[in-house]
């Protein structure tokens, strides 16, 4: 895989991990941050985003029925694996919030809970890389290149929208 492909897929994966992990950790009630609900659970931000994007643009990528079925299976497996992990992180974050409300706060317990959440976040990150790698294996070189173009276009549109909102 060339450096550009690695950069695009790696950057997308890291951005998704940041989008999923950081806001959940910051949400004091362990709920869905920013009101994204179902979008964060399995949409393009919470699932394997490039797989979701490939499925969304299956006609443009000329995906065959077999490819679509494999990508849907990868996405489904990913979501099945990450759902309980996300729940564990939310539960622990609620516990941390409760511990922080105590005066004085039990910093030893808080540290232990933080370390516990990091184990789950690490597993989430690995599962995302695994899903992305499995998804890439389903696509041809041409389809991966087309998907990279779609990602770049989406990224550029996001940057334009962000600048206009500022």
DSSP structural state of residue 35: G
Residue-level pLDDT at 154? 81
- Is 70 exceeded by the pLDDT of residue 75? yes
The total number of structural domains in the chain stands at 1
Strand boundaries in 25-160, DSSP class E: none
pLDDT range class, residue 165, cuts 50, 70, 90: confident
54 touches 71 (CB < 8 A): yes
Residue 44 lies in domain:
3-165
Q: Among candidates 53, 19, 49, 56, which has minimal Cα distance to 36? A: 19
The CB density around residue 161, as the number of other CB atoms within 10 Å, is 10
Distances (CA, A) of 64 to 76, 123, 138, 140, 145: 18, 31, 10, 11, 16
Comparing 128 with 47, the larger pLDDT belongs to 128
Question: What is the C-alpha to C-alpha distance for residues 158 and 34, in angstroms, rounded to an integer?
Answer: 17
């Amino acid at each position: 895989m060339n450096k550009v492909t690695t950069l695009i897929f790696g950057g997308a994966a890291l951005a998704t991990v940041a989008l999923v992990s950081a806001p959940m950790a910051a949400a004091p009630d362990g709920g869905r941050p920013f009101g994204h609900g179902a979008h964060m659970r399995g949409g393009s931000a919470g699932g394997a985003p490039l797989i979701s994007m490939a499925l969304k643009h299956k006609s443009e990528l000329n995906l065959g029925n077999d490819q679509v079925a494999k990508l849907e299976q990868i996405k489904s497996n990913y979501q099945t694996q990450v759902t309980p992990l996300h729940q564990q992180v939310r539960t622990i974050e609620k516990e941390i919030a409760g511990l922080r409300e105590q005066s004085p706060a039990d910093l030893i317990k808080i540290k232990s809970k933080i370390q516990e959440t990091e184990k789950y976040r690490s597993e989430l990150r690995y599962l995302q890389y695994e899903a992305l790698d499995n998804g890439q294996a389903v696509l041809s070189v041409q389809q991966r290149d087309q998907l990279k173009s779609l990602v770049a276009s989406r990224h550029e549109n996001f940057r334009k929208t962000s600048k206009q909102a500022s």
